[in-house]
């Protein structure tokens, strides 16, 4: 009789059902949970409208991107962030307050 359920694996001497073979294997191959969320400590978000309002920072791809209307956010340069930090301190302190409350 061929193809009966519970038939031992050919070449295997054990009378244990084959199911014993793959259960532990699945345990091993199960991906390890690496749900570590990457929180970028960028502090505050520089918005496109503010870039337009205050001008682009020289050499900052983030500003160039915002100006060209590209929806993909690019990293700001340190100079740019410092500059906008000052701008926000002066013009929009509530924006910075919100951030500090969160973190």
Q: Which residues bind Zn ion (CB under 5 A)?
A: 57, 60, 62-63, 76, 80
Residue pair 91/69 in contact by the 8 Å Cβ criterion: no
Residue closer to Zn ion (CB basis): 63 or 88: 63
Q: How many CB atoms lie within 10 A of CB 8?
A: 12
Residue closer to Zn ion (CB basis): 8 or 43: 43
What's the closest the beta carbon of residue 75 comes to Zn ion, in angstroms? 9
Query: CA-CA distances (angstroms) from residue 22 to 18, 19, 27, 33, 85?
Result: 7, 6, 9, 21, 57
Residue closer to Zn ion (CB basis): 21 or 58: 58
What's the closest the beta carbon of residue 42 comes to Zn ion, in angstroms? 12
Q: For 82, list phi and psi in degrees, rounded to 5.
A: -65, -40
C-alpha atoms less than 13 angstroms from C-alpha of 2 in its C-beta half-sphere:
1
What's the closest the beta carbon of residue 87 comes to Zn ion, in angstroms? 11
Residue closer to Zn ion (CB basis): 48 or 101: 48
What's the closest the beta carbon of residue 61 comes to Zn ion, in angstroms? 7
């Amino acid at each position: 009789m061929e193809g009966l359920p519970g038939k031992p694996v050919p070449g295997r001497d054990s009378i244990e059902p084959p199911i014993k073979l793959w259960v532990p294997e699945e345990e091993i191959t199960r991906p390890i949970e690496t749900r570590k969320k990457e929180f970028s400590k960028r502090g505050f978000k520089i918005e496109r409208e503010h870039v337009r309002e205050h001008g682009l920072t020289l050499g900052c791809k983030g500003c160039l991107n915002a100006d060209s209307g590209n929806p993909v956010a690019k990293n700001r340069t340190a100079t740019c962030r410092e500059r906008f930090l000052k701008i926000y301190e002066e013009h929009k302190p509530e924006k910075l307050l919100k951030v500090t409350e969160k973190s």
